[in-house]
Structure 1
Amino acid sequence: MIWTCYANKSSLLTVPLLSCRWLAKQACDSLARNTVREIRHLKRADGPAAVLAIGTANPPNRLSQEEYVEYYFRVTKSQHLTDLKRKFKLICDRTATAKRFFHHTQELLDAHPRFFDGGQDRLEIAAAVAPELAASAATKAIAKWGRPATDITHLILSTNSCALSPGVDLRLASLLGLGSSVVRTLLQLTGCSGGSASLRLAKDIAENNCGARVLVACVELSVAALRGPEENYPHTLISQAIFSDGAGAVIVGADAVHPLERPLFEMVSASQTVIPDTDRVAVIKTGEGGIYHQLFMQELAPIATHNIERCISDELKQLGIDAQWNDLFWAVHPGVTALLDSIDLALMLDPGKLAASRTVLREYGNMLSATVIFVLDEQRRRMEEDGEEGVWGVMLGFGPGFTIETMVLHATTNLKQNHARM
């Protein structure tokens, strides 16, 4: 160590030079750290992220599940496959779906004679239509939100129908008139969990960026996976029997601007769990013939029900929330009715606890990532208009991986106040 001596008339003061430099550096580092902490604090929101508005949309072409059996074998020119047609009808009857919505019609398919020959027509159709359908749902959400679209700072778009870049998000931003500085995130081929994953990401963005307003949009078009029945490939029949078209949009933000903004559900915590050795039970992939779904439905339901109790318990425990399953309200991606039946049984839920999920499955079918937004909107309606009780709730999404998305929700007083005024 180097020592430097300073002398005056009364004393000799000895100071270690390197120690002085070390102290000065520590002081500068401390000032820098304080500044970074202050900046970080100023950039973050004070309160939790919340759902501020919800919008949904479907194409105009609606078919009952019974009508779809005939429609599907007619448009695919497969009416001679009578055995497969009987199997397909049995699958459709077990879905508990009454009707589904589709962009594709027989006229559209007839206009593309190579559609079922493995051409790229289906992907091009989906890419052209998806932005408009997403914009329809987003426009409704923005109108309910009450602020201009230009106030949106972030856009998250999820789709299993279009795997391309530039993607649907860019076209959607243009249709809505969003600013060029909007931060875009595109999630593709995340399966049914895409809606929940998008909302989890929106929560993180809103809480870590003061004043951020995040538009989540999920859009799905089954035309991208539409193909004829194959005798040696039963997964085709399953996917054709359950999936339908729709779009859902949610505005997410923290520190609501009162009275203009009206939070509906506070997004308290969110997590993702991947169950080991289950990556084969739900697969989505692209090919020359569009999007392919491979689903092992008999395995999916047991895997989900054997693991959701732990996922929910872990989430509630870390929050210090002591609640029975029947004390909660539920926004569960329905998938298929067998999944909801298994969850009911595993958690011993009271009748009607999964009513929002069952209603959406019956009235719209499985719209992949958009479905959970429809369920959340139906749960909002039941609490806002019908006076259904509930303070704490759980939203669940399921997807390839096998992945379970869990979010704890808190219903705001706005829902109850609105019902009281009616």
Structure 2
Amino acid sequence: MHKPALLSLATAIPPHCFKQKDVLDAAWDVFGSRFPDYDRFASIFANTGIVKRYGVKPFDWYLAQRGWPERTAAYLEGAESLFVEAASKALRDAALAAADIDTIVTVSSTGIATPSLEARVARRLGFRSDVSRVPVFGLGCAGGVSGLSIASRLAQARPGSNVLMVAVELCSLALRLDELTKANIVATSLFADGAAALVVRAGDGGQTQIEATGEHLWPNTLDVMGWSVDPLGFGVILRRTVPEFVATELKPALTQILARMDLGVADIDKFICHPGGAKVIEAIEGAMSLDQGTLEHERGVIADYGNMSAPTVLFILERTMARGLPQRSLVTALGPGFTASCVSLRHAA
């Protein structure tokens, strides 16, 4: 069968840069006097590994109470802009026009858009009227890898067709001033906005082939990560310690996924992982018996951009590709469900 190949990968960030130290100062002002023992949680900001991150709105916009109408307006404006920028870069790098795209996979879980984002920007970018649209919601941080997996399978089903996948997440819009919970403090310390786009095609070879894909859904884990919904917007759910979960559960799940690919852990030359935060990176290295510091690109991206949810791992893949992929890589991410999503890449030097 024709293996799908990754033709291009591009990323985009919004215009407003926030230094982590400034976010910490603002969080003290907002939460310090209202949150019991807030000083115990303030150290979370320093332990994320983040230096700076980006948002679709100016810093002060986040310091006022917002409801669904304002959050949705900000989502539509910001997500459409990032979609266009990331997709345009990916199309250019693949030497394609928007009219050459046969299928669009849009991944986003941080806002509601109906019609979905690819329809909203179709005229601006120049997609054909017969383009197939596949909007995907609810995968959270796993969405970038799952989106690549979906795009590769759609490309393999129609060799020669061009599939564009765009992951856009505006996590900053979920900031809640009213929720005095540890989960909200963790989200405030981590979340950022960004987008990534890629083009996949099967049938004519390619230097970086998508060798295999796989997922693992853990039972009884709906409370690990997700959104709650109320009149003001999304509220983050983080009811279990993700680093501890990764330490005990990740390797058995990846081993099962790899076995279904007829591979083992020893066959992987490089793991490319959604980082979550500094403690999650350490937990991944420990779980997979990687030397400390192995996930250097993960640490670099989290420092420079924060946790953008679905696009984050694609920022890491972009950075890894720029420095040279090894023969076989495994791109992995964890997200609501609780789910692990994996894609094996085979690279020809």
**TM-score scaled by length of structure 1:** 0.77
Separation in structure 2 between the aligned mates of residue 294 and residue 322 of structure 1, nearest angstrom: 33
SS in 1 for 2:87: helix
Separation in structure 2 between the aligned mates of residue 395 and residue 138 of structure 1, nearest angstrom: 21
Q: Which residue of 1 aligns with 2:56?
A: 103
Offset at 1:118?
A: 3.8
Segments of 5+ residues of structure 2 without an aligned counterpart are none
Q: Residue 211 of structure 2: which of 268, 272, 282 is its match?
A: 268
SS in 1 for 2:115: coil
Render the CA deviation track for 1:354-391: whole Å, top value 9, x for unaligned: 122121111111101111111111111121xxxxx621
Q: Which residue of 1 aligns with 2:159?
A: 210
Q: Which residue of 2 aligns with 1:312?
A: 254
1:366-381 mapped onto 2 (5 Å cutoff): 366-381=307-322
Offset at 1:83?
A: 6.0
Q: Which residue of 1 aligns with 2:196?
A: 248
The 8 Å contact of residues 63 and 101 in structure 1, kept in 2 or not, is answered as yes
Change (3 A) 1:349 1:73: same
The 8 Å contact of residues 197 and 405 in structure 1, kept in 2 or not, is answered as yes
1:48 counterpart = 2:3: yes
Offset at 1:152?
A: 0.6
Q: Residue 138 of structure 1: which of 87, 94, 109 is its match?
A: 87
Segments of 5+ residues of structure 1 without an aligned counterpart are 1-45, 258-262, 384-388, 414-422
Q: Which has the higher contact order (CA 8 A, sep 6+)?
A: 2
**Structure possessing the higher radius of gyration over alpha carbons:** 1
Offset at 1:62?
A: 0.9
The 8 Å contact of residues 189 and 285 in structure 1, kept in 2 or not, is answered as no
Separation in structure 2 between the aligned mates of residue 155 and residue 84 of structure 1, nearest angstrom: 47
Separation in structure 1 between the aligned mates of residue 98 and residue 113 of structure 2, nearest angstrom: 25
Separation in structure 2 between the aligned mates of residue 203 and residue 398 of structure 1, nearest angstrom: 19
SS in 1 for 2:50: coil
Separation in structure 1 between the aligned mates of residue 38 and residue 311 of structure 2, nearest angstrom: 28
2:295 counterpart letter in structure 1: L
Q: Which residue of 1 aligns with 2:286?
A: 345
1:400 counterpart = 2:336: yes
Change (3 A) 1:255 1:64: same
Separation in structure 1 between the aligned mates of residue 173 and residue 221 of structure 2, nearest angstrom: 25
Q: Which residue of 2 aligns with 1:294?
A: 237
Q: Residue 345 of structure 2: which of 385, 395, 409 is its match?
A: 409
Stretch moving more, 287-296 or 374-383? 287-296
Change (3 A) 1:70 1:161: same
RMSD between aligned alpha carbons?
Answer: 2.2
Offset at 1:90?
A: 0.7
1:171-182 mapped onto 2 (5 Å cutoff): 171-182=120-131
Report percent identity of matched pairs: 25
Separation in structure 1 between the aligned mates of residue 83 and residue 273 of structure 2, nearest angstrom: 22
1:98 counterpart letter in structure 2: V
SS in 2 for 1:324: helix
1:83-232 mapped onto 2 (5 Å cutoff): 86-106=39-59, 108=61, 116=65, 118-228=67-177, 230-231=179-180
Q: Which residue of 1 aligns with 2:20?
A: 65
Offset at 1:60?
A: 1.6
2:274 counterpart letter in structure 1: H
Separation in structure 2 between the aligned mates of residue 312 and residue 129 of structure 1, nearest angstrom: 35
Change (3 A) 1:98 1:117: closer
The 8 Å contact of residues 255 and 265 in structure 2, kept in 1 or not, is answered as no
Change (3 A) 1:197 1:117: closer
2:90 counterpart letter in structure 1: A
Render the CA deviation track for 1:126-183: whole Å, top value 9, x for unaligned: 1222111111111111111112221111111111222231121211323211111111
Higher helix proportion (structure 1 or 2): 1
1:393 counterpart letter in structure 2: S
Q: Which residue of 1 aligns with 2:185?
A: 237
Offset at 1:396?
A: 0.7
